[in-house]
Chains A and B, each alone.
Chain A
Amino acid sequence: MSVVLEADGLGISFGGVKAVDGVSFRAEAGRILAIIGPNGAGKTTLFNMVSGVYLPKAGAVRLGGEDVTGMEPQVLAARGLSRSFQNLQIFFRMTAAENVMVGRHRHEARGVLAHLLSLPSVARQNRATRAKALELLDVVGLRAQADIPAGSLPYGALKRLEIARALATEPKVLLLDEPAAGCNPVETEELDRVIQQIAQSGVAVVLVEHDMKLVMKISSRILVLDHGRPLTEGTPAEVRAHPDVIRAYLGGHGAREAAGV
């Protein structure tokens, strides 16, 4: 399998505190790499560095073998990297279909003058873009909600809408930040199927998720972070049996319970 995305020794600090420190991983086409760890472990920050939202202080990101460290998110998107957000970043005033249509942006002709004049080619392109968007809404089970303003959709639906929107860019790498958060068991089951389907189509999926059942079931490898540092990496079976992982999680719970009393 080919490595599509490679993070090498990434690090960043906020106010002198190292949020992520020396984290490396490789994502392969058609595989699901999960990144787990307690809240505040630095998973989202890692995604922000990889997707160009934050500039890493240390380390490098390689996409398709090329160094892309410090490139802007829209440049990375053009090179085939897209993502979803843990804290929803939805275009709330647009319909579900329009949200996904924006995801087609990089595949559309972008001449502003043609858009102002609404040339026949623009209308044709709009139809093709919408058809593609509806197809993707169907994939995530939101076809029936296509023309509803995104602002009035429930949380779980918006999580899936973000996935459809990211897919619309036709990424080679897809970063999913806690897609199952706020989903009911039925929706999680649905998501399980969708994520596997995405990977099967050849996309390298990097999945941050707290739902351990889902993670253990669909990931081919798991990277465990703790306090911004890598704790271990391996197959689901290896990670499950790793004493540090058990300790980190149990320790985390123990500490939280102690603080709660």
Chain B
Amino acid sequence: MTSHSPDIAAPPAAGLLARLASGKLAVLLVLALLVAVPPLFFPSGFYYRVGAIVWILAIATIGLNLLMGFAGQVSLGHAGFLGIGAYAVALLPSRYGIHGIAAMVIGAALSAFIAWVAGRPILRLRGHYLAVATLGFGILIAMVLTNEQWLTGGPDGMRVPRLVLFDWPVRGSDTWYWIGGGAMLIAAWLALNLVDSPTGRALRAIHDSEVAARVIGVDVARYKLAAFVISAVYASVAGSLLAFFDGHITPDAAGFLRSVELVTMVVIGGMGSVVGSVIGTLVIVVLPQTLTFLSDYKHIMVGAFIMLFMIFLRAGIVPSLAALVRRRG
């Protein structure tokens, strides 16, 4: 077994490096252009506002995709972590004078801890049972945020103090557009790194065959939990940024509909595709905005579009179109 000379492997290994680099860099370049180019054509500040929301929410979608698209585990409660991140930056600065960035980090740490504790029993479940358990988890967090009026302001929500960086109050949709875009690029970079690492390979292996992963030494429970914790941190950071940007939050940020929206973004964009997560978020956020002229029928059309996407681009927008291009090319 050991008698093979290393020269067999050396050239392809060097080739791999080039390919890996080009793959990861290409994806990041596409995303960077997606952020940088549209503002050249923005007719009004409103577009910056929508764009900022897209990039920030895409962070949560990318994180959820690590759990759903790579590890193959569903969560219908991820808005709960969005809510924790949002309320952390609302509460900690106003009540305890903690700096906004520190509050964001504390929120992320709290989300990680809650995911770690709740994830152990929940992730033993599979399929529909896992879906319902995560659903319950999300509802639980939303209810705490709604009911603890003394702390959270209840259903009316609360104001979020403006983020101040080096004596510079961060304001304006265009500023948040660039902050959101930059943060999304960092989130994408981290996710892409993970996918091509031992952890990423373990997650993808678990998705295809848990038993095979186990007999070659992968601690399946550990990696499911790791994916859950990482995706919780992604959602928490997105929640914090969204709260800073909006300046006001309500428990809806953690609500069931938000969780479903996140899952829809992952699936529409493409499970296991980082670019897909960004495109999925873009579609789900922008589509209702472009259909406002339909007034009351808007939501019906959004639903119809989602159905059409799933019927004709079942693997998700990005993977389906990529496959199409490959077949033509």
Question: B205–A51 contact, CB under 8 A?
Answer: no
Compute the total of residue contacts between A and B using a CB distance below 8 Å.
145
Question: A73–B211 contact, CB under 8 A?
Answer: yes
Interface residues of B in 169-217 (CB under 8 A from A): 190, 193-194, 196-202, 204-205, 207-209, 211-217
Interface string of A130-141 (1 = CB under 8 A from B): 111011001100
Question: B198–A94 contact, CB under 8 A?
Answer: no
Question: B212–A90 contact, CB under 8 A?
Answer: yes
Tell me if A13 is interfacial: C-beta within 8 Å of chain B. Answer: no
Question: B201–A131 contact, CB under 8 A?
Answer: no
| B119–chain A nearest beta-carbon distance, Å | 14
Q: What residues of B have a CB within 8 angstroms of the CB of A53 in the complex?
A: 211, 214-215
Tell me if A2 is interfacial: C-beta within 8 Å of chain B. Answer: no
A104 to B197, CA, bound (A): 12
Q: What residues of B have a CB within 8 angstroms of the CB of A91 in the complex?
A: 204-205, 207-209, 212-213
Q: What residues of A have a CB within 8 angstroms of the CB of B4 in the complex?
A: 135, 138-139
A92 to B107, CA, bound (A): 37
A52 to B214, CA, bound (A): 9
A115 to B219, CA, bound (A): 16
Question: A112–B17 contact, CB under 8 A?
Answer: no
| B204–chain A nearest beta-carbon distance, Å | 6
Q: What residues of A have a CB within 8 angstroms of the CB of B13 in the complex?
A: 127, 130-131, 134
A117 to B230, CA, bound (A): 13
A256 to B209, CA, bound (A): 34
Q: What residues of B have a CB within 8 angstroms of the CB of A25 in the complex?
A: none
Does more than half of chain B's interface fall in helix, strand or loop, or is it mixed? Answer: helix
Task: Give the bracket for the number of chain B residues in contact with chain A.
Answer: 35 or more
A45 to B240, CA, bound (A): 51
Tell me if B322 is interfacial: C-beta within 8 Å of chain A. Answer: no
Q: What residues of B have a CB within 8 angstroms of the CB of A139 in the complex?
A: 1, 4
Binds B, one of A57-65, A76-84, A178-186: A76-84
Q: What residues of B have a CB within 8 angstroms of the CB of A104 in the complex?
A: 198
Question: B214–A72 contact, CB under 8 A?
Answer: yes
Q: What residues of B have a CB within 8 angstroms of the CB of A76 in the complex?
A: 215
Tell me if A191 is interfacial: C-beta within 8 Å of chain B. Answer: no
A115 to B193, CA, bound (A): 6
Tell me if A12 is interfacial: C-beta within 8 Å of chain B. Answer: no
Question: B17–A102 contact, CB under 8 A?
Answer: no
Question: A112–B230 contact, CB under 8 A?
Answer: yes
Tell me if A109 is interfacial: C-beta within 8 Å of chain B. Answer: yes
A85 to B202, CA, bound (A): 18
* Contact (A83, B215) CB under 8 Å given A105-B201, A115-B193, A134-B12: yes
**Known interface pairs A117-B193, A126-B16, A134-B8; 8 further A-B residue pairs with C-beta atoms within 8 A, sorted by A's residue number:** A94-B204, A94-B205, A99-B205, A101-B201, A105-B216, A116-B190, A125-B198, A134-B9
A-B CB contact pairs (8 Å), 9 listed: A73-B215, A74-B215, A91-B207, A92-B208, A93-B207, A94-B204, A112-B230, A138-B4, A165-B216
Q: Which residues of B contact A (CB under 8 A)?
A: 1-2, 4, 6, 8-10, 12-13, 16-17, 20, 190, 193-194, 196-202, 204-205, 207-209, 211-220, 226, 230, 272
Q: What are the nearest 4 A-B pairs in CB distance?
A: A115-B197, A77-B217, A89-B212, A106-B217
